[in-house]
Amino acid sequence: MSQFGAPSESHTMELADGSTIPLLGFGVWQIPNGPECVQAVQAALDVGYRHIDTAQAYGNEESVGEALRRSGVPREEVFITTKFLPSQEDAAREAAHSLGRLGLDYVDLYLVHWPQGGATRAWPGMEEAHRLGYARSIGVSNFDVTELETLMGVAALRPSVDQVQLSPFHYRRTLVNAAREQDLVVEAYSPLGTGRHLSDETVRRIASQIGRTPAQVLLRWCIQHGFVVLPKSTHQDRIQENARIFDFNLSPADMSELDALDQTGGTHRAQERKWW
Ligand code: NDP
């Protein structure tokens, strides 16, 4: 039994393709491949995370696979996401390479990491990765409203997920609403602002009023908005802390106050400054 209970109905969500995704995922961006990553992912699995978010670009798929094997948690109990590095040519071929590095015969979710070369460029390879059984579900990341619409216009197999930067400070309401109209599950990446939002005064005040930590407040805000949330940490105590987000509620007043921290004007964009 985990610190926050075994995965239950309320800790998961259904994707449009019928798969089930745990609401809490462990992010591994910027954790170097090797012992640090293996230990972090093992710590997450030990306290009950059942969803790991990696990417070809992170260079640490080997460690994710190694941690999963060492943990003893059965493969089918863990939801593994990786992402296609879109500077590469062929998403299906790269998925096969990811599986080799992970030591797995499928991933649960395979995302186009960002829409390099246009919204539809990588999609035929993504559909092929699904057809070949490399990925149970496929989706996108960093796609804005227009890019989602463009992709939906041509996709034979529709994406199930858009993973975007979301937090009270980046509350991209127009994008979230558009994604939901297309039956996409929205995943929140950098929910702590890569650490930056933890020192915000409003977040700290709400946390202290309800006897929780700033990280838990930021993560709970995502859960109450219905986002899958993907915190990262390399510290065991924080990994545990970040998982304790299913045993309290933020009040409507707290939610409104956090919503008002948005600096994007409720944008339709996925990124203010694109890196591709
Ligand atoms: P987060 O927003 O999760 O913040 C992580 C930072 O906060 C680290 O510096 C961590 O430090 C610190 N931290 C974590 N928990 C606590 C805590 N309880 N108390 C104090 N400090 C804490 O970071 P990321 O930007 O990495 O986003 C999370 C995940 O989202 C990524 O790992 C990745 O999986 C995904 N992502 C996807 C992107 C995409 O393009 N699709 C882009 C960016 C992220 P420490 O590790 O030292 O504990």
Residue 265 falls inside a structural domain: no
pLDDT single digits (tens) 78-110 = 999 999 999 999 999 999 999 999 999 999 999
φ, ψ at 188 (rounded to 5°): -100, 115
Average of per-residue pLDDT values in the chain: 96
* Structure-token match 């999609």, residue found: 123
* Domain count within the chain: 1
Between strands 12-14 and 20-22, the pairing is antiparallel
Q: Are 187 and 162 in contact (CB under 8 A)?
A: yes
C-alpha of residue 167 to centroid of ligand 1, in Å: 12
> 190, 272, 276: which to mutate for ligand 1, most atoms within 8 A of CB?
190
Euclidean distance between CA atoms 179 and 188, whole angstroms: 13
Residue 40 CA, closest ligand 1 atom number: 46
Residue 274 falls inside a structural domain: no
Question: Residues near ligand 1 with C-beta < 6 Å?
Answer: 27-30, 53, 113, 141-142, 163, 189-195, 198, 213, 215, 230-235, 238, 241-242
Q: Are 35 and 72 in contact (CB under 8 A)?
A: no
pLDDT single digits (tens) 179-224 = 999 999 999 999 999 999 999 999 999 999 999 999 999 999 999 9
Euclidean distance between CA atoms 46 and 255, whole angstroms: 31
What per-residue confidence (pLDDT) applies to 8?
Answer: 46
Active site residue 58: yes
What per-residue confidence (pLDDT) applies to 205?
Answer: 98
Residue 167: is its pLDDT beyond 50?
yes
Residue 2 falls inside a structural domain: no
Burial class (CB in 10 A: 0-12, 13-18, 19+), 210: middle
Euclidean distance between CA atoms 253 and 169, whole angstroms: 17
Burial class (CB in 10 A: 0-12, 13-18, 19+), 71: middle
Q: Which residue has the higher pLDDT, 276 or 34?
A: 34
pLDDT single digits (tens) 16-49 = 999 999 999 999 999 999 999 999 999 999 999 9
Residue 76 falls inside a structural domain: yes
Nearest C-alpha to atom 32 of ligand 1 is from which residue? 27
Residue 200 falls inside a structural domain: yes
Residue 276 falls inside a structural domain: no
Residue 266 falls inside a structural domain: no
C-alpha of residue 232 to centroid of ligand 1, in Å: 4
Euclidean distance between CA atoms 263 and 159, whole angstroms: 28
Give me the mean pLDDT over the 143-152 stretch: 98
Give me the mean pLDDT over the 230-247 stretch: 98
C-alpha of residue 251 to centroid of ligand 1, in Å: 25
Looking at beta carbons, which pairs linking 149-158 to residues 24 or more positions away fall under 8 Å? 149/178, 150/118, 150/119, 150/120, 151/119, 151/120, 151/123, 152/182, 154/120, 154/123, 155/120, 155/123, 155/127, 156/127, 157/126, 157/127, 157/130, 158/16, 158/182, 158/183
**Containing structural domain, residue 114:** 21-259
Instruction: Report residue 7's pLDDT band, with 50, 70 and 90 as the boundaries.
Output: very low
The CATH number for 103's domain is 3.20.20.100
Instruction: Report residue 4's pLDDT band, with 50, 70 and 90 as the boundaries.
Output: low
Number of Cβ atoms within 10 Å of the Cβ of 4: 19
Residue 14 falls inside a structural domain: no
Q: Are 161 and 109 in contact (CB under 8 A)?
A: yes
Per-residue buried b or exposed e for 110-122, using 16+ beta carbons within 10 Å of the residue's own CB: bbbbbbbeebbeb
The pTM for the full model equals 0.97
